């Protein structure tokens, strides 16, 4: 009995705080989604599932969902592929030196370079890429294209390019974190495994796909879930970079931006909360499916 009392004394405060600051806001959001609350009245009218019914016929909501679907597929695949490539080069790309596997020359410097975008504030990154994506000749990218006599490109004003351009910024800023994450996973693999494979004549291609990738699969799985959750966000960069906050013509809008705009621009807090609840279940469903689909037998060393 004393054992349980001791455990309870340590758990009670964190559980209470979690209930107040996490569970309670979720519960309030679920309740508000069933009302027509406009953020002012103390007694909002209960409307049941009316807000969720409206979502089914809301073209902007479904446009945002489609954008999230694209982000969910492209962003994790590209980010993880680039991060794995860089991590392998930084940790194992130099081959065996002195009986130990090492990274390419200057790997310590490259670690800092790759991680640097991660320490920049999102707003700073957004303003930086506004200059890079400027649609005239003063933009960095269009200035480079002009050197090769290629016409100016409207990176953020072209409905077919805008979302991809913003996704490129997200990937650029995210890669550094996953390089560190995957590097930690690779560092945990005993060097004897790589040395034995190298002695057997395994090249870099074989070392990566037959040894490194299976042994850090759990880390990749975690990274995939993190990136999927990030794909359901992108609020700050879309707000800073997109034309008219989600434009042009809703080509870059995402659910967090629509939730913010519906609540604080149109004062429809009930409807915005319904969007938030939909986003919550989309995120939970993605995380559960990802962990299920990517599950594989753990390799013990």
Tell me the domain boundaries of the chain. 58-293
Note whether 279 and 287 are within 8 A (CB): no
272's tokens: 């915005």
d(CA 156, CA 134): 8
Consecutive H or E run containing 95: strand 95-97
Angle (nearest 5°) at CA 52 between 49 and 55: 155
Class of domain 58-293 as given by CATH: mainly alpha
| DSSP assigned state of 46 | B
Instruction: Look at residue 243 in the predicted model and tell me its pLDDT.
Output: 82
Give pTM, 2 decimals: 0.85
| DSSP assigned state of 89 | H
Instruction: Look at residue 111 in the predicted model and tell me its pLDDT.
Output: 80
Q: With both helix axes pointing from N to C terminus, report the angle between 269-293 and 217-231 in degrees, rounded to the nearest 10.
A: 160
Bond prior to 45 in cis (omega within 30° of 0): no
d(CA 297, CA 225): 18
d(CA 130, CA 175): 20
Mean pLDDT, consecutive 10-residue stretches, the chain (301 aa), reads 70 88 90 88 84 91 92 92 88 62 73 84 89 86 84 86 92 90 83 73 74 84 88 87 84 91 89 92 87 66 53
Angle (nearest 5°) at CA 258 between 153 and 31: 165
CA dihedral 241, 125, 85, 189 (to 10 degrees): -130
89's tokens: 């080069």
């Amino acid at each position: 009995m004393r054992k349980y009392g001791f455990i309870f004394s340590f758990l009670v405060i964190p559980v209470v705080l979690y209930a107040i600051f996490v569970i309670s806001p979720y519960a309030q959001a679920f309740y508000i989604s069933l009302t027509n609350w406009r953020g002012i009245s103390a007694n909002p009218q209960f409307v049941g599932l009316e807000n969720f019914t409206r979502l089914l016929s809301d073209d902007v909501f479904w446009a945002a969902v489609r954008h999230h679907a694209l982000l969910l597929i492209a962003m994790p695949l590209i980010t993880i592929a680039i991060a794995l490539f860089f991590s392998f080069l930084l940790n194992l790309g130099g081959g065996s030196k002195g009986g130990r596997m090492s990274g390419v020359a200057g790997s310590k410097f490259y670690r800092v370079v790759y991680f640097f975008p991660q320490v920049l504030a999102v707003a700073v990154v957004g303003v930086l890429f506004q200059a890079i994506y400027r649609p005239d000749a003063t933009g960095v990218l269009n200035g480079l294209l002009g050197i090769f006599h290629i016409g100016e490109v409207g990176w953020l004003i072209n409905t077919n390019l805008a979302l991809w351009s913003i996704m490129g910024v997200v990937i650029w800023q995210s890669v550094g974190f996953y390089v560190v994450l995957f590097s930690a996973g690779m560092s945990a693999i005993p060097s004897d495994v790589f040395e034995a494979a190298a002695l057997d004549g395994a090249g870099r291609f074989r070392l990566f796909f037959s040894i490194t990738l299976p042994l850090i699969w759990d880390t990749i799985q975690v990274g995939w879930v993190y990136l999927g959750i990030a794909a359901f966000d992108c609020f700050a960069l879309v707000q800073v970079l997109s034309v008219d906050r989600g434009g042009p013509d809703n080509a870059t809008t995402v659910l967090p931006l629509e939730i913010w705009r519906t609540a604080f621009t149109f004062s429809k807090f009930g409807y915005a909360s319904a969007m938030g609840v939909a986003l919550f279940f989309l995120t939970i469903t993605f995380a559960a499916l990802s962990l299920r689909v990517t599950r594989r037998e753990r390799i013990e060393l």
